[in-house]
Homo-oligomer: A and B are copies of this chain.
Amino acid sequence: MAPAASTSSSACPSAPDLKGANAPLPADLPISSFLCEPNAYLSSNVEETHSGGHGGSLSRTNKNNVGIFHDESVKRQAYYDNSCIDGAHPANGHCEGSNSDDLLRRSNENQCIQTDLKPGLNLHSFQNGNDDAGTFILGRNMHHDCLSITEPDIDDESTGDKEAYMAGVLARYRRTLVDRTKYHLGYPYNLDFDYGALAQLQHFSINNLGDPFIESNYGVHSRQFEVGVLDWFARLWELEKDEYWGYITNCGTEGNLHGILVGREVFPDGILYASCESHYSVFKAARMYRMDVVKVATLVSGEIDCVDLKRKLEERKDKPAILNVNIGTTVKGAVDDLDLVITTLQEVGFTENQFFIHCDGALFGLMMPFVKKAPKVSFKKPIGSVSVSGHKFVGCPMPCGVQITRMEHINVLSRNVEYLASRDATIMGSRNGHAPLFLWYTLNRKGYRGFQKEVQRCLRNAHYLKSRLHDAGFGVMLNELSSTVVFERPQDEAFVRKWQLACQGDIAHAVVMPSVTTEKLDNFVEELIESRARCFEGGKVVVPCVASAIGEENCACSKHCAS
């Protein structure tokens, strides 16, 4: 079930026996033939053994594969086969031919193919990417590996076969998760948490639908926890209780979508400015909201180039400015200089009622306050909103985030909502009520001091990783305020996949989170060195030049290293 560490573009297996115990319904059998008319169900390929009772009760005859655990392997193979059941029919399925080629073709049609295609490598894209969905590997189509859903046999309840089968699938999946969790360096997710105390609540359908501050009639909610969390963050970013509004989002993207929407509502004809290393969701927002967007250049470090920003602002002085400021870019962990951005706006002549700043603090929004001398994200400055992810530094088993904005802006957002007699200020409607519990629990346990310690440890470990890579002759960069270590992209794709590294062009990065120990880093560096040696004949390593991506001073190629 686990994706193999190698590139996968195998063609589908041949069509399986449709009568296998867990075979899905044949694809050419119209749904209508078994809906509402249960007795017509599975009229072909399957022999009816019994019918009657409310809702119909039918069974298929082939019981060859119906074992419990000892037949697991057979069943599992059947699953894989089933998932590609249409493979033998090129006209019917994602599974046709080589998916790699297929998807590539589609991608070409879409004119969004990346240019740095390397022979033997999958396509990577981490363009402008932040964490979320940042890295895609084209050519890996999940229909290969998908676990088809099969109709239960009528006697499943008595035999327990299906239950046992599913237990087997889940147990195997669990093993995969344990393994994948172990080797994980490329994404800024803190996997170090223990939420055992919350297990008792997992089976409740907790839903904070709508506004966090206004209770709905649905009683199974966790708003009392959510508002506690929001207060904590508002405090962190120095906004008074009666002056803020916010909510717990589903992910960093929702925070950006919200922040930029608020900005647009405040300035309907505003132009969106964002550095080209901003998260792609910022540009997605612009497209969704039909806003004009101006991409601003970045420095080698990855932070916004305020000289370029100034020039671009000057050209468009007549329109209000909505700015996305990165409190940590995804790829390089670069922090835009908020104070310099504000100064730049002022220099060009923008007054505070002519601009709106959204701070995308996906990862560093929570780390920065605990870093000495770091520029401060604070609502005492003229910013409009801040978002941060909850599943990153805090650590949470599900994606989530926190969005905080000024109450006055939410009032603007709500003012035109004629279709609702209440405040409708969230992007989503139904909202996950478990995420607030996880955040509340962690924040309470760790407190500001606990986070401070963790941030310090992460920064220390990031420096440790940088030193080790540098000593081993790798080109490597670490921004001052960051725990994201950027280095030459490993040439061995299996290694990249094993360690789940996010790559862009010639560079890769490792994000040192609280769950990353020096032991893990040692292990990583040693494997990286071995992997690199294997890529060169006789182990004679030629270090690539990555000066354009991380600066000459950080490059370890023969030219820059010598100079």
Cβ of A75 within 8 Å of any chain B Cβ, yes or no, is no
Copy total for this chain: 2
Q: Are B94 and A242 in contact (CB under 8 A)?
A: yes
Q: When each residue 360-401 of chain A gets 1 if its CB lies under 8 Å from chain B and 0 otherwise, what string results?
A: 000000000111110010000000000001010001111100
Cβ of A560 within 8 Å of any chain B Cβ, yes or no, is no
Q: When each residue 123-147 of chain A gets 1 if its CB lies under 8 Å from chain B and 0 otherwise, what string results?
A: 1010111111111111011110111
Cβ of A311 within 8 Å of any chain B Cβ, yes or no, is no
**Cα-based distance from A326 to B440 in the complex (angstroms):** 37
- With both beta carbons as reference points, the residue of chain B lying nearest to A202 in the complex is identified as B202
Contact (A111, B415) CB under 8 Å given A174-B201, A201-B170: yes
**Cα-based distance from A242 to B496 in the complex (angstroms):** 30
Top 3 A-B pairs, shortest CB-CB distance: A132-B429, A133-B210, A125-B421
- From B34, B127, B152, B395, A421 is in contact (CB under 8 Å) with B127
Cβ of A536 within 8 Å of any chain B Cβ, yes or no, is no
Which residues from 442 to 465 on chain A have a C-beta closer than 8 Å to any C-beta of chain B? 443-450, 452-453, 456
Q: Are A92 and B397 in contact (CB under 8 A)?
A: no
**Cα-based distance from A8 to B187 in the complex (angstroms):** 44
**Cα-based distance from A57 to B226 in the complex (angstroms):** 28
Kindly provide the distance from the CB of A199 to the nearest chain B CB, expressed in whole angstroms.
Answer: 7
Cβ of A212 within 8 Å of any chain B Cβ, yes or no, is yes
Q: Are B432 and A146 in contact (CB under 8 A)?
A: no
Cβ of A261 within 8 Å of any chain B Cβ, yes or no, is yes
Stretch at the interface among A64-72, A277-285, A333-341, A519-527: A277-285
Stretch at the interface among A24-32, A297-305, A475-483, A537-545: A24-32
- From B137, B203, B444, B456, A149 is in contact (CB under 8 Å) with B444
How many chain A residues have a CB neighbour from B under 8 Å?
189
Which residues from 201 to 248 on chain A have a C-beta closer than 8 Å to any C-beta of chain B? 201-207, 209-220, 222-229, 231-232, 235-236, 238, 240-242
Q: Are B429 and A130 in contact (CB under 8 A)?
A: yes
Using A110-B411, A251-B430 as known contacts, list a sample of 15 further A-B pairs with CB atoms less than 8 Å apart, ordered by residue number in A. Answer: A56-B449, A112-B417, A114-B422, A127-B421, A132-B209, A140-B215, A151-B449, A152-B445, A173-B222, A177-B220, A180-B220, A184-B219, A206-B398, A217-B496, A399-B432
Q: Are B419 and A107 in contact (CB under 8 A)?
A: no
Q: Could you list 11 A-B pairs, sorted by A, with CB under 8 Å? A: A38-B452, A107-B423, A110-B417, A151-B449, A152-B446, A166-B445, A191-B205, A218-B500, A253-B429, A257-B427, A289-B290
Q: Are A187 and B218 in contact (CB under 8 A)?
A: yes
